[in-house]
């Protein structure tokens, strides 16, 4: 089993900020828009370094999405920044018509996704955004797992032509992927090879999957772990390769099981290799106030929940 080391807890949103700061220096076409959450999105450095290329739009997300679409006409590469809730549900029609259908090269960067937003509660904790975004034709959907990967993904977006939804979060979490690594959109990363069960995880649940993998090994279960940072397009080949060996799947995500990563994996399995699957996800519910750890525990979104699901799915084979 490979050993992964947490080099020190960091928030994924700071990875976005660092990536954007670097892009500001290396790509003059990159512009950034923010709806009154510059500090929360860690966009301060970009704003300070490039005031002409930073657009403070105020609490007006619909206008922000339209402006971002317009900025592409003239060759700019706009990165919008606000919370995941206000990046998707609030502006769905603007994204649908002015960005996705119009084929505009806009990068929708969304922080504070999921229940780990914490104490602000359900009004801000969107658990439906992956579904909303993956249903849009032409939209690429990415959910990164740690600081390093979020930074690498942000940088990679500038070289990808087309609309992208990049989802990350608020809390400080384990930082374990390589520093200054390359990020390939749509290419899954196999973190552990296993023979009994394949754990397919995205976002904050990837580290939890690695922790679960250790516990499962102690129980005599060999678990493979795949980091699916890109939910659309989904790396079907990587999933099927592992499943051909293990014969069962646990998907893990900080999102509703309706419309999330799990359902996308189910489709791949149904079409190619139907095997048992268990879902570590929220079960058609809103979140609530609490600390991130409390919420991940209450809603069954941690290593313990993955271990439980893995044990169950192995028994179903």
Shortest distance, CB of residue 34 to another protein, whole angstroms?
Answer: 13
Residues 208-267 that bind another protein (CB under 8 A): none
Stretch that binds another protein, among 71-79, 212-220, 246-254, 295-303 (CB under 8 A): 71-79
Closest CA to 40 of 171, 156, 140: 171
Q: Which of 37, 44, 70, 160 binds another protein (CB under 8 A)?
A: 70
> Residue 161, interface with another protein (CB under 8 A)?
no
Looking at the Cβ atoms of 61 and 253, the one nearer to another protein is 61
The one catalytic residue among 28, 48, 61, 278: 61
230-232 and 140-143 beta bridge pairing: antiparallel
Q: 33: closest CA among 10, 75, 1, 66?
A: 66
Kindly report each contact of residues 96-104 with a partner whose C-beta sits within 8 Å and lies 24 or more positions away, as own/partner.
96/136, 98/65, 98/66, 98/69, 99/65, 99/68, 99/69, 99/163, 100/136, 100/137, 100/138, 100/139, 100/163, 101/137, 101/138, 102/69, 103/138, 103/162, 103/163, 104/68, 104/69, 104/72, 104/73, 104/163
CB of 64 to another protein, least distance (A): 8
Binding mask 35-64 for another protein (x = CB under 8 A): -----------------xx-x-xx-x-xxx
Q: Which residue's CB is nearer to another protein, number 32 or number 225?
A: 32
- Cβ proximity of 257 and 281 under 8 Å: yes
Please state the closest distance from residue 71 (CB atom) to another protein, in A.
4
With contacts defined by CB under 8 A, how many residues of the chain interact with another protein?
A: 32
Residues 74-103 that bind another protein (CB under 8 A): 74-76, 78, 93-94, 96-98, 101-103
The tokens of 36 are what? 């009154």
61 is an active site residue: yes
Stretch touching another protein by CB under 8 A, among 69-77, 123-131, 200-208, 245-253: 69-77
Helix, strand, coil in percent for the chain, rounding step 5: 40, 20, 40
| Cβ-based neighbour number of residue 167 at 10 Å | 31
Report the nearest approach of another protein to the CB of residue 230 (Å).
24
Positions in the binding site for another protein (CB under 8 A): 31, 52-53, 55, 57-58, 60, 62-76, 78, 93-94, 96-98, 101-104
């Amino acid at each position: 089993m490979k050993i992964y080391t947490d080099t020190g807890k960091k928030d994924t949103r700071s990875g976005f900020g660092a990536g954007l700061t670097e892009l500001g220096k290396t790509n003059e076409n990159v512009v950034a828009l923010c709806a009154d959450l510059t500090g929360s999105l860690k966009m301060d450095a970009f704003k300070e370094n490039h005031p002409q290329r930073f657009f403070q739009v105020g609490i007006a997300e619909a206008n922000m999405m339209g402006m971002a679409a317009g900025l592409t006409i003239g060759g700019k590469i706009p990165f919008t920044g606000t919370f995941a809730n206000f990046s998707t549900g609030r502006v769905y029609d603007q994204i649908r018509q002015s960005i996705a259908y119009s084929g505009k090269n806009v990068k929708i960067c969304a922080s504070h996704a999921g229940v780990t937003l914490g104490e602000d509660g359900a009004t801000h904790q969107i658990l439906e955004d992956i579904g909303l975004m993956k249903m849009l034709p032409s939209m690429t959907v990415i959910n990164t797992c740690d600081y390093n990967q979020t930074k690498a993904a942000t940088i990679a977006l500038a070289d990808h032509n087309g609309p992208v939804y990049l989802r990350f979060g608020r809390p400080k979490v384990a930082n374990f992927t390589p520093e200054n690594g390359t990020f390939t959109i749509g290419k899954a990363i196999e973190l552990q090879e296993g023979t009994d069960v394949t754990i397919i995880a995205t976002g904050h649940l990837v580290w939890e999957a690695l922790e679960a993998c250790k516990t499962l090994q102690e129980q005599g279960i060999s678990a493979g772990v795949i980091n699916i940072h890109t939910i659309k397009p989904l790396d079907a080949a990587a999933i099927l390769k592992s499943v051909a060996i293990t014969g069962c799947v646990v998907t893990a995500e900080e999102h509703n099981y309706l419309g999330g990563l799990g359902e996308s994996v189910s489709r791949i399995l149904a079409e190619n290799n139907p095997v048992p699957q268990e879902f570590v996800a929220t079960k058609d519910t809103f979140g609530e106030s609490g600390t991130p750890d409390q919420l991940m525990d209450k809603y069954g979104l941690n290593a313990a929940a993955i271990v439980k699901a893995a044990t169950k799915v192995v028994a179903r084979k």
